[in-house]
Amino acid sequence: MSEDQKAMLEALKANSKRQGGRRFKKRKYIVKEDGDVNVKLSPQAIRCLEILFEGGKLEYTEEEAHGLFDGADMGKSKQEPWKVFQYYRKSLVDAGWIVLEKIEDKS
């Protein structure tokens, strides 16, 4: 690998949007307290909602939400808690428990 290629790769790494090995999208999660209580959700989906409620806020950026799930107890699941949340996110949105909003750049 040439020196130019190494420098280019280092510049790309420095300019990457990665934080802590993850890419966070510019969106926020708004937790609703009036979702559909009659919808059938799995115990893990309910646990995801419980973690969001335990956070003490009703709006989280994606990075803040990730922090809530970091190290959270998800029961018998072997998956990372954040991956479990990503899997059930659509179910929670469809049931009206969370709303996703894009965060506008102010640049």
The reported pLDDT for the residue numbered 82 is: 92
Structure-block tokens of residue 56: 């003490």
The reported pLDDT for the residue numbered 25 is: 82
Distance of CA 51 to the CA centre of its chain: 12
- The candidate with the shortest Cα–Cα distance to 66, out of 17, 22, 31, is 22
Residues 65-88: tens digit of each pLDDT = 999 998 888 878 888 999 999 999
Q: Give the single-character DSSP code of 89.
A: H
| pLDDT mean across residues, the chain | 85
Residues 42-56: tens digit of each pLDDT = 999 999 999 999 999
pLDDT at 15 over 70: no
Angle at 98 between CA 86 and CA 21, to 5 degrees: 35
pLDDT at 3 over 90: no
The reported pLDDT for the residue numbered 96 is: 94
Please tell me the distance from the alpha carbon of residue 26 to that of residue 101, in angstroms, as a whole number: 9
The reported pLDDT for the residue numbered 91 is: 94
All structural domains of the chain: 21-102 (1.10.10)
Residue 64 banded pLDDT, cuts 50, 70, 90: very high
The reported pLDDT for the residue numbered 21 is: 58
Distance of CA 58 to the CA centre of its chain: 14
pLDDT at 23 over 80: no
| Dihedral angle, C-alpha 40, 46, 50, 51, nearest 10 ° | -140
